[in-house]
């Protein structure tokens, strides 16, 4: 049994085209490995078919592994999500008191929403920093 270099190129092309019908990236990368092996065999002296199979398996495993690593982003670089953070997402923002804080309670406006705030007694118009929340009431400091 003799496997020629062009056999690998044809097999690689067939696998790459088959990726259209069964998308999982495995066939695409395996096809690329077969094409690389076929091109390498044209440059090398004759190699026994057993070693060609071993070479293909090695290249295919390496190519599929590389392809899967390239496909998904690393977990630590995923963007932060603001979903279900509620008022905690506002911590650190600065705002101006809409009404004075009297007896520890007042209001601020953020965008088109008015928020209840608690903190030290301060006059309206004072710029405050949101330092936390207690339920739906924001805790502010100067």
Question: What whole-number distance in Å separates Cα of residue 142 and Cα of residue 129?
Answer: 6
pLDDT in tens, 81-118: 555 566 777 888 898 899 999 998 999 988 888 889 99
**CATH 2.40.50.140 region(s) of the chain?**
87-141
The hierarchical CATH code for the domain 87-141 is 2.40.50.140
**Residue among 106, 99, 111, 112 nearest 138 (CA):** 106
Name 87's Cβ contacts closer than 8 Å, sequence gap at least 6. 115, 133, 136, 138
Question: What whole-number distance in Å separates Cα of residue 138 and Cα of residue 48?
Answer: 75
pTM flag (> 0.85): no
């Amino acid at each position: 049994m003799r496997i020629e270099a062009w056999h690998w190129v044809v097999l690689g092309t067939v696998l790459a085209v088959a990726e259209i019908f069964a998308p999982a990236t495995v066939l695409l990368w395996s096809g690329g490995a077969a094409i690389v092996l076929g091109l390498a065999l044209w440059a090398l002296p004759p190699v026994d078919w057993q070693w060609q199979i071993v070479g293909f398996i090695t290249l295919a495993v390496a190519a599929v592994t590389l392809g899967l690593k390239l496909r998904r982003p690393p977990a630590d670089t995923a963007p932060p999500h603001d979903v279900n953070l509620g008022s905690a997402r506002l911590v650190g923002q600065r705002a101006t008191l809409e009404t004075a804080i009297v007896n520890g309670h007042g209001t601020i406006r953020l965008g088109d929403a008015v928020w209840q705030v608690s903190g030290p007694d301060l006059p309206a118009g004072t710029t405050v920093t949101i330092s936390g929340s207690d339920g739906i009431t924001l805790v502010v400091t100067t």
